[in-house]
Chains A and B, each alone.
Chain A
């Protein structure tokens, strides 16, 4: 296929002495390791909007399912062409609720991924799913498409909390959906929960955790409720209809979860994420076998593609339609146009929907490595990885802020790795800020 049918007029590329291979710096060292990419595919549709959610998703756009998938396929093919059919080791269908799409449309998406990209053996393919809408045949259909990991937005096991969160499902639906997914052959399942709801009772949270652990999912994500601007929840809080989440209470609930999950054999590998291990329980060297490999790409400041309305990507190389600018030598982050119809039209008209491009300077790339890497509470940021990625020493660049944070008890060195202390877990912003340029 001629790439120009997809990307008719790439913006002019301005290059200042472009390196031979943009993945390598002038001394020939690889910037990003040339490792396989993560691939994120955004499905911006939901049956209904939840009042706390600020994701780019819409209810009532069923008539756009078909043209949207057409556009996705075109965008997927366009990037594949532009990047020379790169290797991909994780695919993540996020949303929105990907499972609102009929199976044949999901199949079209995944088939075009398999055609245009070189999927690595054992590639992790995740789909988000809603406990309210899944039964066993449906999950079996997903499984047969090659999806091997499910992430379910359970959110709570308390009926009144689910009502407050505007979820269409009840506690029993979570159990039912989970069992249906297991029966359909899913051996890697994540459950999402939200804590720190206004006035949330600790015993309710404890009960939610207990019920979650009873299901023994491979992975758990526990998110402190954030009041995001432009959401109904935000307006409720502003008008005093709902009391704002209390940070002290949330901190307490979080620490409660830390203890319970550790006791149940889950390994916390990120601020809000826990995974089970294959190794024996209590083994100090145990690795979080079921950590989400797709998300690890993000936190390790690696390359990923984002396709779909409002999706974001990060590449360390230039590729149309991204303008390769001298200041972007250390990478570009971009975001696609967010509204669905506009996204489709842009893909149809010019083959891409890139709305903003954010060139990453060397200083910014290092700051991002810290901001993201320190979220990985076990592996942290290692001197070795930092030096390989940025060609500079971690101590040389950030010696002073690290010393200060150590003194405040927020970070610690464990061998070659800098990571958050238990206290630092709850003060991650303080830590991340210290590395951002003034």
Chain B
């Protein structure tokens, strides 16, 4: 069944049911109301006539009956009957008086008002007069009933109309829903066909469909960005690999044309070095992709950040010294272990230290720091090298993004993007700050739910 038909039917049914409920309520209420009114009137009139009879006897009663009838109320019925129920005075021409008992009424009887052909239902009260005759006083209920009937009839018409309106409304809503969904489906189809530029049109409103469209468009934007990045990465990978491959080829060419065996050995060594450099680029690109896909999460273990800092400081201190720089470790005495990837964290720090050594040059003071506060773990490296201008930060993080335009320093510009991927793997960020002068590059890793154990607090 198509959606719009289903929505129309449901709406129609709901309208019908709710109206039925309202009509039922009105019906029940008005009926009670009418009946209560009738009862009251009958009882009041009976009481008035009784009082008059008691006060002024039959003469007064007859006058009162005349007055009552004469008031012009067509529903009014008042009469004196013989003990066997034959009307002898009043406006009633016939009544069946079965088991009449004196009462204020109302009892339901069939009676014929003067000059009318058919008997009508009436609510009446009876009173036994002194000589065994009866006083009948009451009202025919025809008018009340017909009022009710009219009301009911109109309510029924209303019911039919509302059901129809519900059906129409449902159809219109269904039509609307159908159209919006059809728009989205059409866009999805075109995107499935390969056109990622397609977007769900805006209707301008703020309804759920608009929000859905917005989300879908956001999702498409994200996918398009990723696709674009991927395309750019593939492009730049192909492009960036040209120079190392070129160098490799040049080295091989040189080796092949060398006649002196010693010279050739040296040149062949170059060939191997160049192919190693090429491999290193590929390994790093793969490492970044792997890290970004978060598959390394299952290799997380408890890592003591202080120990990590100590290891790397010890590892690179001689290297820095060799380069004429100095490397110092600045770490808090007690650090909470974090759930992390020891190898990748070490690699991230190693990349940052290598960068610092490379850019600091002789005399550089490099500081490796490991700190923890309530926000989390912060580990990184500061130097007094050239730093990274704020406006070029994005570039520095990019794969193959190298800020040195002459490209005199070795490296493919992959280091920081790997560090960033490692930070993301640990739900953290790579933060680059100005050391005035120089660079502070640090990983900020939140300590997710890791509480300080009591035993540590007691130390």
Q: Do A and B come from one complex?
A: no
